[in-house]
Structure 1
Amino acid sequence: MKILFESPHLISSYDAANSWLHLHWQGRHNEADSKSYALEVLKNIRLTRATRVFNDATLDKDGWSELTRWLAQDFMQQVAEAGVVAVAWVLPENLLARTHVHNLLAQVSCPLIDTFVDVEAAYNWLKSGAAVAGPDC
């Protein structure tokens, strides 16, 4: 995998073998950093033309709950418009962060997002190709 962006809280890589963007979140981050990271993710989606995203938030400790509305209404729409059709989202172990993910995803219809507690299951779902038969956005 080729690393496109690296910070203490987010590593964004392009997995050429699977043609998807791989995101690895960790720790607690503030609202400003979270928004900046989201915009970096969007930039990397556009750069790679990835149509699928593997979003590993296992070690995420929150930091973006204040951005739920923006993420759901603006950011995810831009992600879909950039060509992403499917996201495999590995849920955080942190229960508060997991609650925030569920609140966010309840407001998102595009792209297709499925959640997992197991990294391998998320990988297999995204790799299966069935994931790209998501909703029309």
Structure 2
Amino acid sequence: MQTLFEKPGITIMYDMVTKWLYVTWRGEHDDESSLAGCVTILNKIRQTKSNKILNDSSQVLDGWSEVVRWIGQEFFQALADEGVIAIAWVMAHDWPARADINKVVGYTTRPIVDTFEDIESAYNWLRAVPDKPSHEI
């Protein structure tokens, strides 16, 4: 895997074999750091043309309530517009963050998003999602 971006609260890696982005969030995030991370992810999607994301929030602390609706409705829509078809999201262990993740998923209409308790389950689900939407196969 190739590291594309790294800061104390977020690491974005690209797997050249699967052509997926692996995003790892750590610690506390406020609105500003959450938005900056999302913009960076979108830029890396454009750069790599990845169509799937494994988003690991297991190490996130606290929630980010103010940007929940924006992430679910606008950011995820922008990812879908760039060709992302699926996001496997590893849940935070922290309860406020878990609650916000569930809210984001509730606002999301596309791409396909599912949540998982561990990376292995997320990886296996993401691998099983067809690389092209069923209407294109």
TM interval, shorter chain, is over 0.9
* Runs of 4+ with deviation above 3 angstroms: 129-136
Give me the CA root mean square deviation: 1.8
Distance apart, 1:21 and its partner CA: 0.4
CA distance in structure 2 between the partners assigned to 1:21 and 1:81 by the alignment: 16
Q: What secondary structure is seen at the aligned counterpart in 2 of 1:99?
A: helix
Distance apart, 1:64 and its partner CA: 2.5
Q: What secondary structure is seen at the aligned counterpart in 2 of 1:4?
A: strand
- Segments of 5+ residues of structure 1 without an aligned counterpart are none
The one-letter code matched in structure 2 to 1:41 is I
CA distance in structure 2 between the partners assigned to 1:114 and 1:121 by the alignment: 11
Distance apart, 1:72 and its partner CA: 1.6
Q: Which position in structure 2 is the counterpart of 1:71?
A: 71
CA distance in structure 2 between the partners assigned to 1:42 and 1:3 by the alignment: 15
Q: Percent identity?
A: 36
Whether the 8 Å contact between 1:86 and 1:132 is mirrored in structure 2 is no
Q: Which position in structure 2 is the counterpart of 1:58?
A: 58
Q: Which position in structure 1 is the counterpart of 2:38?
A: 38
Q: Which position in structure 2 is the counterpart of 1:104?
A: 104
CA distance in structure 2 between the partners assigned to 1:57 and 1:121 by the alignment: 14
CA distance in structure 2 between the partners assigned to 1:57 and 1:132 by the alignment: 26
Q: Which position in structure 2 is the counterpart of 1:123?
A: 123
Alignment of 1:82 with 2:82, yes or no, is yes
Deviations 1:5-61 (A, max 9, x none): 101110001011111000001100221111011100000011000000010111011
Q: Which position in structure 1 is the counterpart of 2:25?
A: 25
CA distance in structure 2 between the partners assigned to 1:29 and 1:54 by the alignment: 19
Q: What secondary structure is seen at the aligned counterpart in 2 of 1:14?
A: strand
Q: Which position in structure 1 is the counterpart of 2:10?
A: 10
